[in-house]
Amino acid sequence: MDNAANIDIASIIPHREPFLYVDRVVELAQGRIVTEWDVRADAHFFRGHYPGQPLVPGVLICESAFQAGAILCAADERDAIPEGAVPVLTRIADARFRRRVGPGETLRCEATLDERVGPARYMTAKVSSGGQAVLRVQFVVAVTAGGL
């Protein structure tokens, strides 16, 4: 599971534009993933979220972390996700935002698997940009059989 360059995100999670917030997997190891999201200046959410002072909504920064966690769950061959099942967010805890994010930045997310309990995967993500902390959040992803 160490060849991150060959990860086909679209084959792992169901998210698609305009709701895909992971551009690439930089690193993938057992229990850990590093992803990046390039925040485009023409992103749809900038038109209505603080017009004139573009700001990436915090919920979308969280979503990028959750998508990284879902990729980690689905790519971990120990999980062997059944055909048609998908990893779904079931809990968010202790989200702490450190600074704002604007157009043109690249968000780097490191998500780790903290614990596995049945179908639930307890995870922690740290998001940064330019070496500065942006977000730390704990969350749970559950593998749901039969899709959505």
Q: Between the CA atoms of 130, 112, 138 and 47, what dihedral angle is there, to the nearest 10 degrees?
A: 40
Best CA proximity match to 77, nearest among 18, 111, 28, 19? 28
Domains in the chain, ordered, with CATH? Answer: 4-144 (3.10.129.10)
pLDDT at position 81 is 67
pLDDT at position 67 is 96
pLDDT at position 87 is 81
Q: Which of 49, 100, 116, 136 is catalytic?
A: 49
> Annotated catalytic, 49?
yes
Scan for tokens 């600074």, then name that residue.
Answer: 99
Q: CA–CA distance from 139 to each of 62, 81, 126, 130 (Å)?
A: 10, 19, 11, 24
Between 79 and 57, where is the model more confident? 57
> Residues 2-47: pLDDT tens digits?
567 678 999 888 889 999 999 999 999 999 999 999 999 999 999 9
pLDDT at position 77 is 58
* DSSP E strand boundaries for 74-131: 86-97, 106-117, 120-129
> Residues 79-121: pLDDT tens digits?
556 777 778 999 999 999 999 999 999 999 999 999 999 889 9
